[in-house]
A and B are shown apart, each in its own frame.
Chain A
């Protein structure tokens, strides 16, 4: 199967005062289409930075990231915004729903950047909310939903545009065990039933267990995972 994401010699550093801190160094990585990849590693290892770079939220210092054949490191800011809206679905640790919009409107939000008619948008949103079993919560505001339900709305928002890949940054980090399990089951279904490529950053070995592939980052480079992590996950 052809890789959907191809990363070559990726380096990223941040400046703090006069100091330059290297966060990612010469990362090369391929992710296959339909893969469910877990990115693990200790805090500060650069996993979220890598995820942000793959999702087109940040720019690398050097190297290239090709997603579905497009080198996103060459795209301008506005082109990158358009690219994100068409190719990336986001799931965040704290759900990042807009508090003043209902569940339906939150899911509809990315669709207003498309050319879909109101009727088509409604159909897409309804399908996405059905997928996460929240069809009875369409008019609820985020504050009226539990954490697990909010994350399910966020998953519906991530899939509603039918993106090339879904990126998830600690999707279960703010959830209790039962809700986390439910969210992970959903993500697993997205991968197995719909064939979505999912890249998930997590600390949670249980979450990583749901993935069919895992990469371990340590101090900005890809490394072999410690035995403990492997045995817990696989």
Chain B
């Protein structure tokens, strides 16, 4: 069997140019497939990593995101008193009432405006998100017109760097700190004092309430309590679930786009592989006759040519993945459909993407190779031997 593998492999090497061109076509398809799935994965990972499992987000019932949500002060206070909410080191509830508003800022590179999330934070907001760390400058003083900018915002938007001032909600805000939120969605937000923002934006209600659970297992009890209390028009979600839902629409769109593009491109690549393999069969008719004469049966010849075509697919798939893997070093930003806000994220390769891409390339090789391999296996031995 090893010899049969070498036979197929060396035949590919013997036709380097044809092999390279066909494999390049397949590599391109796998590159497109892998890169779009990596994009969807990156988006999802960014948003899922944004949440912590023990944190609970409370938003208005049926509002999909914090942007659409409104939580009245009284309702926020009722949640604050629930026993399932953890107690912080200072003896107070480990909870943050927050406001989320969208504003428009101009991008540095393109001058085009994009929506940016403004988050009004309270005392516990930073502690509830351990992945958020102050990178430069200092925290804003409560009651002042000072703000913190996420690293992605500071880098990509005008006047959002440390010491710069941004004008929005009829006031001038000074950026006093830059925070790093790892690969999470918070990196694409601007944070400031919630009370200042509520006044500036004339919002009488919070957008959400975020808190840590005293015991993680209490979530179901709390959820039932929140959603059955007639005074409350809110719902509770684990923070991880909340952010996963935020990414679903966009990720789904990207995946469908990826599948559609890949399907169209793959037809071309399969036809390319088929032509290459038909040419290989035509050039090696005498060889096929010899192998059949030596005692290789039809299935042996079928396997040899199919193996060659699968190898071709694998080479294409591997090359496509190799080049796609470099995309991990790039960060892209786009508007998340669900929140209408700008979100920066990186391409993310996973084991699942690797095996799916390779499987996909093998399927292309198989489909492209099956008919030529079948033709090779059905050749009449005597006629094939005459073709020298």
Contacts and interface: CB of A to CB of B under 8 A. Distances in A.
B62 interface: no
Interface in A72-97: 77-78, 81-82, 84-86, 88, 90, 92, 94, 96
A110 interface: yes
Interface stretch (A3-11, A100-108, A144-152, A215-223): A100-108
A42 to B, nearest CB: 18
Contacts of B11: 100
A101 B297 contact: no
A54 interface: no
B294 A108 contact: no
Nearest to B299: A78
Contacts of A78: 297-298
B294 A90 contact: yes
A31 to B, nearest CB: 19
Interface residues of A, number: 27
B3 A105 contact: yes
21 contacts: A55-B293, A58-B382, A81-B292, A81-B298, A82-B295, A90-B290, A90-B294, A96-B287, A96-B289, A96-B293, A100-B13, A101-B3, A101-B7, A101-B10, A105-B3, A105-B6, A110-B295, A112-B1, A112-B4, A113-B295, A113-B300
Given A58-B381, A96-B388, A110 B294 contact: yes
Given A52-B382, A99-B14, A85 B294 contact: yes
A98 B382 contact: no
A109 interface: yes
A131 to B, nearest CB: 18
Query: What is the interface of chain B mostly: helix, strand, loop, or mixed?
Result: helix
Given A92-B290, A100-B14, A113 B385 contact: no
Contacts of A96: 286-287, 289-290, 293, 385, 388
Contacts, number: 72
B114 to A, nearest CB: 57
A78 B297 CA distance: 6
A109 B3 contact: yes
A8 B56 CA distance: 92
Interface string B353-388: 000000000000000000000000000011001001
B385 A109 contact: no
B3 A84 contact: no
Interface residues of B, number: 26
B253 interface: no
Nearest to A78: B297
A57 B290 contact: no
B295 A85 contact: yes
Contacts of A77: 297-298
Contacts of B297: 77-78, 81-82
A77 B381 CA distance: 11
Contact of B296 (A58, A90, A101, A113): A113
Given A98-B290, A105-B6, A81 B14 contact: no
A100 B7 contact: yes
B7 A98 contact: yes
B294 A109 contact: yes
Q: Which of B3, B6, B13 has the most CB of A within 10 A?
A: B3
A108 B3 contact: yes
A84 B6 contact: no
